[in-house]
A and B are shown apart, each in its own frame.
Chain A
Amino acid sequence: MSEARIDGKPASLAAAAERAAEILSAARMPVIAGLGTDVAGARASILLAEKLRGAYDHMYSVRIFADLDVMRQAGLMFTTPNEARLRADVLLFIGKDLTKIWPAMMTRLSPAEIPPFDLARKPRKILWIAPGRGGAKVEGLAVQTLDSSDLHAALAALRARAAGRPVSCAKRMLRKLDEFAEVLKKARFGVAVWGGDSLDCLMIEMLHGLIRDLNKTTRFSGLPLGCDSNAAGVVQASGWMTGFPVRTSFGRGFPEHDTWRFDATRMIESGEADAAVWISAYGPEAPPWKKNIPLVALASPQTAFAREPQVCIGVGCPGIDHDAAEFSRETASIVGRLASHGSPAPSVAAIIGQIAKHFGEDASC
């Protein structure tokens, strides 16, 4: 059953784990990348990185840090999908790819329903900034849209108008901004929803500034949609285990965090890292780097690699093949998922555990 290969040839799990350990112990600076895994897999990987004095990173770090860098530089206000569904009288969507990121978003937030915990019990107002072509559809409700080719400027102008400050722009745009600002200011519990590639740090920070300003007189919060492959769950586990999010290294025997230095792809392309573990249990994502370095892959069996990894082990999908704790976008919290189609496909945690055994029996964790 187990799908393991060494240099492209079928191998037993035990042999594959042993070969993986050899590759990693020969490396001076191994990096664990991808990290598309459940909490148990992340936990095992971080403990392995500590043993190896290596670094670790997640495949969606760029998006992770768009939100996280704003939080740790300026702060953040956020809420949960439950609260948005039950209370939000105003929903402010931003960006064109929201339903692509989260296909169930509209079902989950159920915008066409009158928010049951709203005192006024009126239909919600839906605003959408930069919905893109064919976006901005909410069944049963009119959507006010604001198109902009420059989201930086649009968000800044909207914040300025909401604060009653002048902006310089076309009359039609100004009217639209003022319409939006009025709706936002009259919200009783408004929620701004963003995610994906549409927003960079500066935009998110501007949006947070708008949310903070609105809270001077009313209630408003944010709902970042985050990334797939349990990115938020991996960041949480990394947070409690090391104090830091991903892009952390144990090179000096203690965790150091730096979003540039410990960017796995950069480390590999520059030659700083000399072996890699690629983990992708949720889907067939392949490593993004081009350089050829020794690679141990713990990946979904359908993964197509540009080059055959030295060691490749097929792993099960968390919550489908095996029980898993993972961060859920539906609830904005870590939840437990029982295997929906239990199978003997091994978990990332189990494989990492087998590899780690070769670095000394350490039952301590």
Chain B
Amino acid sequence: MLILLKGGRIVDPANGRDEAGDLWIENDRIVAAPPGRLADEVHDVSGKIVMAGAIDIHSHIAGGNVNTARLLLPEKHQNHLPNPPALPLSTAKWSTFETGTIYASMGFTTVIEPAIVPHQALQAHLELSDIPIIDKGTLTVLGNDDFLLSLLRDGEGQAAVADYVASAVAASNGLGVKCINAGGATAFKYNARTFSLDDVVPFYGLTSRQIVEALQRAVEDIQIPHPLHLHANNLGIPGNVATALATIEAARGERLHFAHLQFYSYGAEGDRGFSSAAAELAAAVNAAPNVTIDVGQVMFRQTVTISADVLRQFNGVAMAKPKKSVIHDGDGNGGGIVPYLYRENDFANAVQWACGLELFMLIDDSWRVFFTTDHPNGAPFTTYPEIFALIMNRDARAEATARLPPEALAMTTLPSIAREYTLSEIATMTRAAPAKLLGLKDRGHLGEGGLADIAVYTRGKDLAKMFRFAHLVFKDGDLVVRDGRVTHYRWGKALKVNPGYDKAIDRRLAAYYDHHFGVSRDLFAVKENFLPRTGMFREVACAR
């Protein structure tokens, strides 16, 4: 099938294009204009914006903690709308089916679930299998797992650590490695209530810094394209900008992805001891080309915080709204589910909101700042269109800002910022840069040979509407969305890496599981025969 998208504005920063032009699709790929052939299907998209499908690098869409949150809050997702017959469960709020449907209708075609501990990987992949249309991937959470900590404590050397990390990622079919409050969850099991970069994990005698450094090196050693994805210590605490700055410093110039930086951009200034330090932090990111960040924007509404940073979640239990929460001391990280209501007239929430926008605005390089709400921790991903409007239009920002408590705004630099994101910068931040960061060479761009994951938007005054309802969306060349409505399901791939390693570590791990846990490690492996469909993994090459 040969498809022509005729006369749109092609916004493709990966190939340096922002111009009117045609785009040809054959089967699942973007192709050069085929001389002498007529398209089987022509879409006149003149005046429309044509971009690659968007890629979300950090959104909690699957796994045991997410599912616990669903079960914890039935009253927050009552349904009212029957689904179209062709789209079973697509209107069931917060279902996997709805997740894929909404992402697709906004023009997203790849989404990464960033927090899967190895022992929850099978459930996570079962959930991902039920998310229609989009491609998915998971990051494997390490850094509080006893085997790793014992390797480090016993000074086993970097090769053993790298083999272990590779084996854990391979067994859980992950796309990369995430580390969440390194050592903090383990320290919490020993009754630590705070845990910072140079605090020591009891029993193991290791600092958080040492664990992060070891994982960062391991990821490089086994040549996973995505750098270590770090959820740092002291999330959400006034004055934690010091931790964030120290963590950037601790990367020693090596590649590091710093997740949801907004939650670490807090000073302790002012009468209330809470202020934005986003400007200072943005300057540090600008000066550290080895560091990428995603924002974790806060929006004002009911949400639920879902995090494998169990220590932080435990400390947040008193803030739960509604007043109930789950704290899980799991194998490795565990997690905490704490519902939360961000309010516009709340001083701290307003500062948080402003911090996120300051980071968007003050980090110069749109290849190194990524668009996230840490869904659903800062806000549900359904708020993305509103956030696009806020960063692309200073009037929209001023209007929203005017509703906030002035004393909160006084603690930020946001009112002084005039920057507006261009469409090309949006495409960089949500398409080209994520593909590069994750090592996905086949997407994030509109060049020949690229995967035909394409979003076409209707430019209008209402930027939020433009991004909420894509005019057309193609996934693998299949037209799945027309005027913001999904027309049919198809099933996307799970992207994974398969790093090479010395298999001797698997024998050690088998013995460790038999002895310590008393169960076989094989129970936790994600094998295709346990999933609803076969052939659904796509390997992303290791080596950079």
Q: Could you tell me which A residues sit within 8 Å of B by CB distance?
A: 39-40, 43, 47, 50-51, 68, 71-80, 82-83, 85-87, 107-108, 110, 116-117, 119, 188-189, 215, 218-219, 221, 235-237, 239-245, 252-257, 323-325, 328, 330-331, 333-337, 362, 364-365
Contact B71 A72 (CB under 8 A): yes
A331 to B87, CA, bound (A): 34
Contact B122 A79 (CB under 8 A): no
With A50-B89, A77-B327 as known contacts, state yes or no: A243 contacts B191, CB within 8 Å: no
Residues from chain A with Cβ under 8 Å of B531 in the complex: 325
Q: Determine which residue in A241, A243, A330, A333 has the highest number of CB atoms from chain B within 10 A of its CB, and name it.
A: A243
Residue of B74, B86, B188, B189 touching A257 (CB-CB under 8 A):
B74
Residues from chain A with Cβ under 8 Å of B94 in the complex: 243
Residues from chain A with Cβ under 8 Å of B64 in the complex: 236, 333
With A47-B88, A71-B72 as known contacts, state yes or no: A325 contacts B119, CB within 8 Å: no
Contact A83 B331 (CB under 8 A): yes
Contact A80 B203 (CB under 8 A): no
With A40-B532, A51-B88, A240-B127 as known contacts, state yes or no: A333 contacts B83, CB within 8 Å: no
Residue of A43, A108, A239, A336 touching B527 (CB-CB under 8 A):
A336
With A236-B67, A254-B80, A254-B92 as known contacts, state yes or no: A85 contacts B130, CB within 8 Å: no
Contacts A/B (CB < 8 Å), 13 sampled: A75-B327, A78-B329, A82-B516, A83-B189, A85-B518, A87-B189, A219-B188, A252-B82, A254-B91, A325-B122, A330-B519, A364-B488, A365-B88
List 17 extra interface pairs beyond A119-B203, A240-B127, CB under 8 A. Answer: A75-B320, A75-B325, A77-B327, A80-B331, A108-B518, A116-B516, A188-B190, A219-B188, A221-B329, A239-B70, A240-B96, A242-B92, A243-B70, A331-B331, A334-B126, A337-B523, A365-B489
Residue of A73, A80, A240 touching B330 (CB-CB under 8 A):
A80
Residues from chain A with Cβ under 8 Å of B325 in the complex: 75
A252 to B516, CA, bound (A): 49
B181 to chain A, nearest CB (A): 16
With A85-B517, A87-B189, A333-B120 as known contacts, state yes or no: A255 contacts B79, CB within 8 Å: yes
Residue B22 at the A interface, CB < 8 A? no
Residues from chain B with Cβ under 8 Å of A240 in the complex: 62, 66-67, 70, 95-96, 126-127, 130
A76 to B337, CA, bound (A): 10
A327 to B78, CA, bound (A): 26
Q: Determine which residue in B80, B96, B323, B331 has the highest number of CB atoms from chain A within 10 A of its CB, and name it.
A: B331
Contact A241 B89 (CB under 8 A): yes
A122 to chain B, nearest CB (A): 15
Residues from chain A with Cβ under 8 Å of B519 in the complex: 82, 330-331
Residue B38 at the A interface, CB < 8 A? no
Residues from chain B with Cβ under 8 Å of A188 in the complex: 190-191
Residue B202 at the A interface, CB < 8 A? yes
Residues from chain B with Cβ under 8 Å of A245 in the complex: 71, 74
Residues from chain A with Cβ under 8 Å of B330 in the complex: 79-80, 83
For B149, the closest partner residue in chain A by CB is A117
A103 to B127, CA, bound (A): 31
Contact B122 A335 (CB under 8 A): yes
A239 to B68, CA, bound (A): 8
A365 to B91, CA, bound (A): 15
Residue B146 at the A interface, CB < 8 A? yes
Residues from chain A with Cβ under 8 Å of B501 in the complex: none
A254 to B74, CA, bound (A): 14
A161 to B94, CA, bound (A): 42
Residue of B66, B71, B518, B532 touching A235 (CB-CB under 8 A):
B71
A39 to B532, CA, bound (A): 9
Residue B525 at the A interface, CB < 8 A? yes
Residue of A40, A73, A108, A218 touching B324 (CB-CB under 8 A):
A73
For A233, the closest partner residue in chain B by CB is B123
B184 to chain A, nearest CB (A): 14
A184 to chain B, nearest CB (A): 14
Contact B74 A323 (CB under 8 A): no
A82 to B529, CA, bound (A): 26
Contact A72 B527 (CB under 8 A): no
Contact A239 B71 (CB under 8 A): yes
Residues from chain B with Cβ under 8 Å of A337 in the complex: 523
Residue B524 at the A interface, CB < 8 A? yes
B194 to chain A, nearest CB (A): 15
Residues from chain B with Cβ under 8 Å of A76 in the complex: 326-327
A5 to B323, CA, bound (A): 52
For B317, the closest partner residue in chain A by CB is A75
B432 to chain A, nearest CB (A): 31
For B73, the closest partner residue in chain A by CB is A72
For A72, the closest partner residue in chain B by CB is B72
For A116, the closest partner residue in chain B by CB is B516
A242 to B190, CA, bound (A): 37
Contact B122 A77 (CB under 8 A): no
Residues from chain A with Cβ under 8 Å of B95 in the complex: 240-243, 255
A220 to B516, CA, bound (A): 21
Contact B89 A255 (CB under 8 A): yes
Residues from chain B with Cβ under 8 Å of A335 in the complex: 122, 523-524
For B190, the closest partner residue in chain A by CB is A119
For A339, the closest partner residue in chain B by CB is B529
Contact B71 A68 (CB under 8 A): yes
Residue B195 at the A interface, CB < 8 A? no
A344 to B40, CA, bound (A): 46
Contact A241 B96 (CB under 8 A): yes
Q: Which 9 A-B pairs have the closest CB atoms?
A: A253-B82, A254-B79, A75-B324, A335-B523, A79-B329, A334-B123, A325-B530, A336-B530, A364-B489
For residues 321 through 377 of chain B, which have their beta carbon under 8 Å from a beta carbon of chain A?
A: 323-331, 334
Residue B97 at the A interface, CB < 8 A? yes
Residue B436 at the A interface, CB < 8 A? no
Residues from chain A with Cβ under 8 Å of B525 in the complex: 336
With A241-B96, A256-B79 as known contacts, state yes or no: A50 contacts B67, CB within 8 Å: no
A324 to chain B, nearest CB (A): 7
Residues from chain B with Cβ under 8 Å of A235 in the complex: 71
A189 to B185, CA, bound (A): 13
Contact A325 B126 (CB under 8 A): yes
Residues from chain B with Cβ under 8 Å of A74 in the complex: 324
Residue B77 at the A interface, CB < 8 A? yes
Contact A83 B326 (CB under 8 A): no
For B325, the closest partner residue in chain A by CB is A75
For A349, the closest partner residue in chain B by CB is B532
Residue B81 at the A interface, CB < 8 A? yes
A337 to chain B, nearest CB (A): 7
Contact B489 A253 (CB under 8 A): no
A212 to B387, CA, bound (A): 38
Contact B518 A107 (CB under 8 A): yes
Contact A331 B489 (CB under 8 A): no
A232 to B130, CA, bound (A): 18
A330 to B70, CA, bound (A): 24
Residue B93 at the A interface, CB < 8 A? yes
Residues from chain B with Cβ under 8 Å of A51 in the complex: 88
Residue of B146, B326, B524 touching A86 (CB-CB under 8 A):
B146
With A72-B74, A72-B324, A325-B126 as known contacts, state yes or no: A333 contacts B524, CB within 8 Å: yes
